[in-house]
Every structure is written in C-alpha cells, then in structure tokens.
Homo-oligomer: A and B are copies of this chain.
C-alpha cells in the first residue's frame, strides 16, 4: 500500500506547528491596543472562522509575552470572566425541576459549561495552538497551588487534553541513531530515570542492536515526544541496571534475546500531567517487540522492570 500520499499530507501539520513562533517575530506587538481579555471576548463572540484563526494566533502570541503577574491575572480571568453563566444555569435548573427529561438534561449540560472551554477550543485553531496550550497549562500548574478557582480551570484543561490526546491519535515511533537530532536532543533532556550524559551515552542506548527506545507522538506536536520508554534485550534475567548501561559491553544478538528489560520511562510534557499514556505505551511496545522478534511469541517475552 502506497501510504506516502497520506504521510505527505500530514506533514503540513508539522510545518504549521512551527509557524506560530515565526509569525511572532515578524509581527511585533506594535499597536496591540486591545488587551488580551478583550481579544478573548472577540474570539468567543466572533463568527468569522478565518479571522478566528488570526485572533487565536494573536492571543497566544500576547500570552507568550506575559510576565508572571499579568499571567496570573489572565488565569484569574479564565476562572471568573470566562467561568460559568449563572443566570443560564438557574434557568436550566428550573426547567429540570419542572421536566427532568433527556432534552432538558442536555440543555443543563450545555448551560453548566464554563465559557473558557469554548475559548480554549478556539485558541486551538491557531497554528501550533495545541502545543501552546500545553505550555500554558504547564504555567498554570505552577500557579494552581492552594487556589481552588484555578484548580477548576486546570480541570477543564485536563478535560480538553483527554479528548485531544485521545489514545487513538497517538503515534508510536522507534527512536534510533537515524532519528533527527532535534528529537534526540529532547530525549536527552527529558530522560527522568537514568540520566543520559550527552550524545555518546544516548548512542549506547539507541544504536546497539539489543537496545530499543520507543516514544509516543501526537500529530499536533510532531517534534516533541509525549512519553518514551527504554528497553534492553537480554538473554538472561538481569538484577541490576549498571551492567546494562556499561560502556564496552558486548551486545546480545536480538534473535537470541529472551527478555525485554524496561529500564526507564519518562513523561515529557509537564503540561499533560493527569493525561496518562504510560500503560498504553508499554502495551504497544510489547506488541511491537513481539512482532519484530516472532520467536518470542512462542516462548513468551519476559518483560522485566528495572527502574
């Protein structure tokens, strides 16, 4: 099956994710007369789809320039200005009490939705919007401690991210020595269990024939992994991690491997905390290893954790 048409098609997503940053530089914030809150109101009220993209773009660029104080103020606006619509809820609650039907339940649900949910959905229209919103939530997490109002905002981020990062959209990729350097560089930075000490150390973990590193990616954030796991194939059951990472060791030919040691797993996006990918990644990797090393399907692959 010639799937290249489709992959080329999808490539433009990658190109778009990078467009935002470029645009920021080209359109300096001269004459940004309207404040970010007004812009958000415009975006919410707007009909025009395409001007919506431009607005979303501008809001995210403005946001990126905010210092801590105004950023907290923006989060507070998300909590309050773009919160729930009390009169509308009151009305729907009254309707429910008169007629507790499916139709009124549906209206009740719509009425109770905070306005920020739709605002965040529209911000997602900007090129690179998803990645920008993940970064936004990362900063929200820093501010959220002991602030119940912001915690509700955070819950809405999690709700949206759970839908956008639906596991059906995740893409498993093996990372090896032929992977672009800009991805490898992030692997080095994100490794959270056994620190990777530079390029030579990374190479020892991805180039030998008995080593595997798999990552999940999302179509909207194609040059930034979501989570990755590191695996060593061995022909014995090891009980320490050091020999597996030692320099100068002799690789085990994969066809002789009986055990897959999962020795590290790292979440990459702090802004996606609470949207869990780990179990799903491991299931996928186990299936991938079984496909690659079919002998292991009969003599079942022993998976061992050594963190």
State in angstroms the CA–CA spacing of A96 and B152 once bound together: 16
How many copies the complex holds: the figure is 4
Q: Given A9-B222, A108-B89, are A2 and B125 neighbors across the interface (CB < 8 Å)?
A: no
Output the least CB separation between A212 and chain B (Å): 13
Chain B binder among A27-35, A164-172, A265-273, A298-306: A164-172
User: Is A192's CB within 8 Å of the partner chain B?
Assistant: no
Interface string of A181-217 (1 = CB under 8 A from B): 1111100000000000011000100000000000001
User: Is A45's CB within 8 Å of the partner chain B?
Assistant: no
Query: Which residue of the partner chain, among B15, B149, B182, B280, contacts A102 with CB atoms under 8 Å?
Result: B149
Interface string of A145-178 (1 = CB under 8 A from B): 0001100100100000001101111011100111
Contacts of A240 in B (CB 8 A): none
Contacts of A199 in B (CB 8 A): 181, 198-199
Interface string of A80-94 (1 = CB under 8 A from B): 000110100110010
Q: Is the CB of A279 within 8 A of B50?
A: yes
Query: Which residue of the partner chain, among B3, B15, B114, B178, contacts A181 with CB atoms under 8 Å?
Result: B178
Output the least CB separation between A142 and chain B (Å): 21
Output the least CB separation between A171 and chain B (Å): 5
User: Is A126's CB within 8 Å of the partner chain B?
Assistant: yes
User: Is A223's CB within 8 Å of the partner chain B?
Assistant: yes
- Minimal Cβ-Cβ distance residue in B for A155: B106
Interface hub of A96, A97, A284 (most chain B Cβ within 10 A): A96
Q: Which A positions have Cβ atoms within 8 angstroms of B?
A: 1-15, 18, 48-50, 53, 79, 83-84, 86, 89-90, 93, 96-97, 100, 102-103, 105-106, 108-109, 112-114, 121, 124-127, 129-130, 148-149, 152, 155, 163-164, 166-169, 171-173, 176-185, 198-199, 203, 217, 219-220, 222-223, 279-280, 283-284
Q: What are 27 A-B contacts with C-beta separation under 8 Å?
A: A1-B176, A2-B5, A2-B8, A4-B5, A5-B179, A6-B13, A6-B14, A7-B7, A7-B10, A10-B219, A12-B171, A12-B172, A13-B219, A48-B279, A50-B280, A79-B102, A89-B96, A93-B108, A102-B149, A102-B152, A103-B152, A105-B112, A106-B112, A121-B163, A124-B168, A125-B166, A219-B219
